A and B are shown apart, each in its own frame.
Chain A
Amino acid sequence: MSRIGVFVCHCGENISRTVDVEQVAAAAGNIPGVAFSCDYKYMCSDPGQNLLKKAIAEHNLTGVVVAACSPRMHEKTFRKAAGAAGLNPYVCEMANIREHCSWVHENREMATAKASDIVHLMVERVKKGKSLAPITVPVTKKALVIGGGIAGIQAALDIADAGHQVLVVEREPSIGGHMAQLSETFPTLDCSQCIMTPKMVDVANHPNITLYSYSEIEKVEGYIGNFQVTVRKKARSVDESKCTGCGVCIAKCPKKKIPNEFDQGHGMRSAIYVPFPQAVPNTPVIDRENCTMFQSGKCGVCAKVCGPGAVDYQQEDTLTVESIGAIVVATGFKLYSIDRKPEGSMIQGYGEFGYGTIPDIVDGMTFERLASASGPTGGKILRPSDGKEPKQIVFIQCVGSRAREKGISYCSKICCMYTAKHTMLYHHKVHDGQAYVFFMDARTPGKGYDEFWRRAVEEEEAVYIRGMVSRMYQKGDKIIVMGSDTLVGVQVEIEADMVVLATAVQPQEGADLLAQKLGISYDKYNFYSEAHAKLKPVECATAGIYLAGACQGPKDIPDTVSQASAAAAKVMTLFAKDQLERDPVVAKVNEKYCVGCFACKKVCPYGAIEEKEIKDRQGNVVKVIAYVNPGVCGGCGTCQATCPSKTVELDGYTDEQIMAMIETL
């Protein structure tokens, strides 16, 4: 016979205002199997918890129901207290009579009756409940960082400095990401490369970091502490172990007129190339689509001139499987660059801007390259069409961002600041030039940010026009920018030599596909979703996977670095333990009756269900059934709802418990 204790909490006045707690406690005392019931002002307080512990000992209780707030609030508190009094923590359950009752009702009589019902339900559930033991899983103390931009670099260095092994996987031939492309950074105007490249070198030289550049994630299996990650190392056509990075191959390559991606297509590179001089690793890669050797089989100059014999045209993609304990996703962003509506996309495009057709309309990243000392113009601001210095330049903010009708409703966050920076860079380089900015609002929260923007307006002579541009077209060698000044209430027409669009920040290409491999969720724009917008901003809902940087939402460098370090701290917290303890509220399969239709496997959002072979004594496979890996199971119960014969059940929420609850009503 069960001996259940029921403890009804007043929650100050939060519950007792609408619920007659004394009556609820008295009614609970009459339920068969309840050995003790009482009410108390604050059950979660120290005296409240002691009351519970004392009652367990005195009345020899076999189960506990605390009628108070949501289990999300205090389930852990009371389970711990019950555990301390010698009871199995999992026979302690909470009846939520605050959020589910007192807060949402006004009629005291009815609310009291409902609270009594809720308590009765939980008593029946606890009666049928079983003692559960926590599950422990081992932790592989090696982290995977996906993406080698500033977010990935920072996270990798932090984790590696803490003494753990880190694997960095970067899709491009070099790490560095977008930050390596920037000329100067706000709000201090320090050179981006000067602060970035030392960190890149640190990654390459760190004894705890293994760098897989020009590689992609092929497959991710497993769960927190125990991921199995398959990495595809794409064929570089250059043996990294032999190459000394001397650069002779690049110098001798006869194919040199290929638009350089690093310079946004405005500089040229050879078919065998490193993306930029400070690249890490400094190992060239052959662009097979543009290489004469690969296209026609004739050339082979790079192989001939290579002293160490590192060029290998036969190299193939290789797959490596790594055991990983935690994953930091830092895949970053791309800039919106759509001139017309793509098929099947919610994005509308900016055909009316001549975007993509007028060569002197460029995006912010192209302007960065034009302003950069290492860029295609050597740091001179020259327009792409004819190489002339633009004397009138127009910057347009919020292109794509905050435009619901165009398909993106969010603010890209960094554009106000980088446009202000662009006007300054322009003013510093073209002294007799004039910069105009079309803007909706100037959003400058951040340390030193508003001062920076004021400086652009007040000291660096940028003319800010509050309004949007409706149309742009080429007239002679000028671009006619037609817009409105909404503060003055007039139409504005500017004859510009060049236009820079602060286009929206979007998640990287293929962000959704990677999320599907990782089993993490993403929003309609493909930004990855954090577990809680406020309290878990770097964790994913999938345990053991953390987010850093712009892959989660538009971010500037300081925010990105902060989040990367936060993600690294989360990884270190995980790695501080040898064994992970997990809540035992997991699903279990009744092996006798499972027929192995694997409907559960198809619906499991955690990938926790595996196929298990049942063998007879001779070792012959009798049947193949479902097995729930307790380390992966999230305890959502979807399998239980799906199983046609109900042979999989969630501990703590068994059909028997649920039916017992329903039958009390």
Chain B
Amino acid sequence: MNAKAQKAKGCGIEPAYYDAVTQAIRSEAVKVLKEGAVSAVIGYLPGRRKSAAVPAVVTTEEEAGRLIFSPACVNNLSLYLTKAKKGILPGGKIGIVAKGCDLRALAGLMGESQIKRDDLFIIGINCAGVQGAVAAGNGQLTEASIAKKCRECTAHTPEGVDFVAGTLPHLDGLTPLEAEELARIEAMPQAERWAYWKEQFSRCIRCMACRQVCPFCYCEQCLCDKNRPQAVESSPRPAGNTAWHIVRAMHLAGRCAGCAECERSCPMDIPLNLLNRRMAQELKELYDYEASMAPQEKGPLNQYKEDDDQSFIK
């Protein structure tokens, strides 16, 4: 497919959209810093390479004037508000730039008493999508470069934020590759499916990047690092690998925001977001629960209702 054909399919988002979002973020970030409403803003600054972006904590108006939003702004910034990354931020109220999936993470963290809404100034983005792990040369978003999670995103428009940046351009529906892949794996006979995942987990080198990048992995001591008693073997061998990935998926069930940062950061390309999505699907079917942009007091796995589905007890 040539570039023109891609454009015709509506996958290329006009650069003007990202420029408009960038401008809105800059002016709002400068404003809140100037007013002293926040002590810092977590956002994205241009990276050293062309068309790259890096997460940044800006504390001055001058820096805030350099904030950007581009297809390269993939990181889930809510990570920097968690205890796992404590010490990065100054005290006081913090401004944060958040895409839809990041907002779901913020809501989850609020529900888990990790952050308080009052301590935040949220700049929500009308997000058209970001790029996948492999970026296209010119930094533009194309059907080839858009992240898989963004192809079937349900959180384009921010809710419950203090400021909305940008207007959502027209978005054409894209083939839901993840949903298709999930359906393909689900359709496998059990033995084949197990072989598939065993193969995936066997590649894990236990670098723990998926844990480091996840906003919900904020424990001071991970269960998988405990050695007295040891619940999960720590060296990269099949049993421990499988145990780790099961623990990770189970601990994220009903919490995962769907930012897919785990999968993006995985050096071994293990399709972790498929597991996350499968768990989310399970919770949707069993408890009619979905991670949303509104903080929930109790997740579905933290409460008991008499009419809960119990068909899984056999």
Contact = CB atoms under 8 A, between A and B. Distances in A.
Given A603-B302, A646-B231, A597 B220 contact: no
A642 B114 CA distance: 17
A598 B223 CA distance: 16
Contacts of B298: 602
Contacts of A644: 219, 223, 251
Given A597-B113, A602-B302, A656 B229 contact: yes
Contacts of B219: 593, 595, 644-645, 647
A599 interface: yes
B186 to A, nearest CB: 27
Interface in A626-663: 642, 644-647, 655-656, 659-660
Nearest to A659: B229
B80 interface: no
A594 interface: yes
B303 A603 contact: yes
**Most chain B Cβ neighbours within 10 Å, of A624, A647, A656:** A647
Contacts of B114: 595-597
Contact of A646 (B113, B218, B226, B302): B226
A592 interface: yes
Contacts of A624: 113
A394 to B, nearest CB: 38
Contact of B221 (A524, A597, A598, A645): A645
Interface residues of B, number: 21
B221 A593 contact: yes
Contacts of B222: 645
Contacts of A524: 306
Nearest to B252: A644
A645 B112 contact: no
Nearest to B229: A659
Interface in B260-314: 297-299, 302-303, 306
A599 B251 contact: no
Contact of A655 (B112, B220, B229): B229
Contact of B220 (A603, A642, A645): A645
Nearest to A645: B219
Contact of A599 (B83, B112, B220): B112
A243 to B, nearest CB: 44
Nearest to B114: A597
Interface in B219-238: 219-223, 226, 228-229, 231
Nearest to A654: B229
Contacts of B303: 602-603
Nearest to B224: A645
A656 B226 contact: no
B113 A598 contact: yes
Interface string B197-236: 0000000000000000000001111110010110100000
Interface string A287-324: 00000000000000000000000000000000000000
A599 B302 contact: yes
A630 to B, nearest CB: 22
B252 to A, nearest CB: 10
Contacts of A602: 297-299, 302-303
Interface residues of A, number: 22
Contacts of A595: 83, 114, 218-220
A89 to B, nearest CB: 25
Nearest to A626: B113
A596 B226 contact: no
B237 to A, nearest CB: 18
Interface string B167-181: 000000000000000
A597 B112 contact: yes
B41 to A, nearest CB: 24
A603 B299 CA distance: 10
B228 A656 contact: yes
A126 B71 CA distance: 59
Contacts of A660: 229
Nearest to B221: A593
A619 to B, nearest CB: 16
Contacts of A623: 83
Contacts of B228: 656
Nearest to B297: A602
Interface string A501-538: 00000000000000000000000100000000000000
A1 B71 CA distance: 63
Contacts of B112: 597-599
A623 B86 CA distance: 11
Interface in A561-613: 592-599, 602-603
B175 to A, nearest CB: 35
Nearest to A657: B229
Interface string A243-275: 000000000000000000000000000000000
Contacts of B251: 644
Contact of A642 (B83, B221, B302): B302
B109 to A, nearest CB: 9
* Candidate in B113, B303, B306 with the most chain A CB atoms within 10 angstroms: B113
A524 B229 CA distance: 42
A602 B164 CA distance: 33
A660 B229 CA distance: 8
B223 A646 contact: yes
Contacts of B302: 599, 602-603, 642
A623 B113 CA distance: 11
A86 to B, nearest CB: 30
Give the interface centre of A595, A598, A642 by most chain B CB atoms within 10 Å: A595
B221 A596 contact: no
A248 B101 CA distance: 68
A39 to B, nearest CB: 32
A655 B229 CA distance: 7
B223 A645 contact: yes
12 contacts: A592-B220, A594-B220, A595-B83, A595-B218, A597-B112, A597-B113, A644-B223, A644-B251, A646-B231, A647-B219, A655-B231, A660-B229
Given A647-B221, A656-B229, 5 more contacts: A594-B220, A599-B112, A602-B298, A645-B226, A646-B231
What are the nearest 9 A-B pairs in CB distance? A659-B229, A645-B219, A602-B302, A593-B221, A597-B112, A593-B220, A598-B113, A602-B298, A656-B229
Interface of B: 83, 112-114, 218-223, 226, 228-229, 231, 251, 297-299, 302-303, 306
Interface of A: 524, 592-599, 602-603, 623-624, 642, 644-647, 655-656, 659-660
